[in-house]
Amino acid sequence: MTNASDRQRIWLTGATSGIGRALAERLLEQGHRVALSARSESALGELAAGHDNALLLPLDVADRQAVRQAGERLGEAFGGLDLAILNAGTCEYLDVRDFDVDLVERVFAPNFFGAVYCIDAALPLLRRARAEGGHPLLAATSSAAAYLPLPRAEAYGASKAALSHFLESLRLDLTSEGIGVSLIHPGFVKTPLTDLNDFPMPMRVTVDEAAETILGGLERRRLDIHFPRRFTLLVRLMGILPPGLRHRLGLRMTRQDTPVETRR
């Protein structure tokens, strides 16, 4: 159990499934005061059962007003925030032969704009913790897909690349305030979301492995928490290859399905 002096005030979004749930369970068991956010209030209640150190903040992160209200409630309950982990997100893949702008908007809404809304709500509370003498940290879950353009990942990869760029820029501007920023770039993790994928997922890790790696990285205040490292280092290497070579490698991963006009 964490010592009382080490207990933190934490806000975790996307708390009821996958990586978020694994993180929530560990943080609650460690004795931190954890505000849990997800869309399902019943799922949050089940997760928090037996933990009087949990604060339930059900919300859709893509709802700007709901996030603002959650931030106000969080401020009233905790005063400040020592750690914000913005983990909520979704994934849909684009079929370019049936180009779907609504799909792109659906993916960007929680993955990018939802994170921005949460940052807007969390920053005053992180600043309050800093004024109290703390060392607050803002973290967000991006993806290894942010390192490299991939087939069908136009929406998902772009939303995560936008998030990574935004947070890296924000890190530069928050350094003078003493607020740290960590980015989390997972490879494939076995979650209900990735269970829907219809393609090979090399080096996929469990949510328990992911949670342990993330919490260890946050404790060390790492700028980039990426895993599994053999996979993410390979993806990062591919991302800095000359454009022509990167294009040829990408084409090898592109599906060679029957053209849409001849399908039945």
**Would you please indicate which residues are annotated as catalytic (active-site) residues?**
156
* Torsion sign (Cα): 124, 128, 130, 134: negative
Q: Omega before 228 cis (within 30°)?
A: yes
Cα–chain-centroid distance for residue 154? 18
226 forms beta bridges with 185
68-73 long-range Cβ contacts below 8 angstroms, 24+ apart = 68/117, 68/120, 68/121, 70/37, 70/121, 71/118, 71/120, 71/121, 71/122, 71/124, 71/125, 72/121
What's at 95, amino acid-wise?
D
- Measured in residues, the chain has a length of 264
Label residues 136-172 b or e (16+ Cβ within 10 Å = b).
bbbbbbbbbbbbbbbbbbbbbbbbbbbbbebbeebbe
**Residue 148 CB contacts under 8 Å (≥ 6 apart), including other chains:** 157, 235, 236, 238, 239, 246
Neighbours of 185 (CB within 10 A): 20
How far is Cα 65 from Cα 96, in angstroms, rounded to an integer?
Answer: 33
**Tokens (6 digits) for 115:** 């994170």
The 3-state DSSP class for residue 15 equals: coil
